[in-house]
Amino acid sequence: MDTLHFKTNINCGGCIRAVTPTLNGEKAIAKWEVDTAHPAKILTVTSDLTAAQVVELVTEAGFEAQPV
């Protein structure tokens, strides 16, 4: 299992609530969190997914993510 980091536009509690069903619904994700205090709004994901798969999930939820 790898820990991946992404720059996102998930910048508030409402955004986190919007992305939660998508990320929590993916069984390959062990845990995730967004640091909304960080200027780049860093999403940290511990998962067996590739970075591209996580970006796709975040995009499906209506947000942007770029690996860092």
| 42: CATH | 3.30.70.100
4, 31, 47 from 19: Cα distances, Å: 17, 13, 16
Neighbour count for residue 67 (Cβ, 10 Å):
13
Domain count, the chain: 1
The pLDDT tens digits for 33-51 are 999 999 999 999 999 999 9
Report the pLDDT value the prediction gives residue 57, as an integer from 0 to 100.
Answer: 97
Question: What's the burial of 37, exposed, middle or buried (CB within 10 Å: 0-12/13-18/19+)?
Answer: exposed
Q: Look up the domain containing 36 and give its range.
A: 2-67
Report the pLDDT value the prediction gives residue 52, as an integer from 0 to 100.
Answer: 97
Judge contact between 3 and 44, C-beta under 8 A.
Answer: yes
pLDDT class of 61 with cuts at 50, 70, 90: very high
pTM of the model: 0.94
Residue 60 structure tokens? 């499906």
pLDDT class of 11 with cuts at 50, 70, 90: very high
